[in-house]
Structure formats: structure tokens, C-alpha cells
Amino acid sequence: MIEQTKAEIVAENEKIKLAYDIGIAIDRVHKKRIIHRDIKLENVFYDDKQQCYKLGDFGIARTTDDGMASTVAFTKGYGAPEVVGTLDDKYDCTADIYSYGMMLYVLLNELRFPESNDYHPTVFQY
């Protein structure tokens, strides 16, 4: 059996805390009918005072009446297929869930996107 060092356990616990805190933030945003549209590691911030992770940069976020958005806005590698591959179709908050999943994938895979050796997405991801 391989034993984990204390540093590895702390790092793993921080990733779990980040996932939890940002998951809660996304849920709160979606309940207000806001689609963030740019969930990625660069938009996650740590608040030392409250000791929690926060979701920031709502610059391209949209409030919706019906829960749907239609303009294409995303960061390469984090955009959901329904957002990346369309100019006419509408999408909903599940696009944020895809981005959240990609963010966690990258975080848990040494900052590598699927089918990539580094922090650069490839066409194979889709």
C-alpha cells in the first residue's frame, strides 16, 4: 500500500474544498437565473478571511428570463459542446456544469486537458 504524505492529503483536501465551494456558488447563481458562461480555474479565487473559494469574473454572465442564452461566449477548452458548436441554438445553465466539470478534470489531472500534455485544449476534447 502506498502511503500519502501530509502535503498530498492537504492538497487533495483543498481540491475537494474548491470543488464543493464552487459547486455551491454555481448552484446559487443558477437559482438566480444567471448563466456564468466562463467557469474556469482562472476565475476561482481564494478568500483568506473567510477561508473559502469564490467564483468571480461575471463579465460575460447573462441573466435570463427563461433560463436560456443564445450568444456564444466561452473560454476555449471549457465551453460546452452545445455552446461551441452553435451560432443559432439556445443553451441553458447546464453549459456551466460542463465547464465546471472540465475545470475539475484539469485540476485533478495535473493541469492537463483531455488528450493534451499541458494546459492547452485540443480538438480531440470534443
The residues that are catalytic are 38
Do the beta carbons of residue 93 and residue 35 sit within 8 Å? yes
**Residue 69: beta bridge partners?**
91
Do the beta carbons of residue 62 and residue 37 sit within 8 Å? yes
The SS3 assignment for 45 reads strand
Neighbouring CB atoms inside 10 A of 45's CB total 11
**Residue 47: beta bridge partners?**
52
| Identity of the amino acid at 39 | I
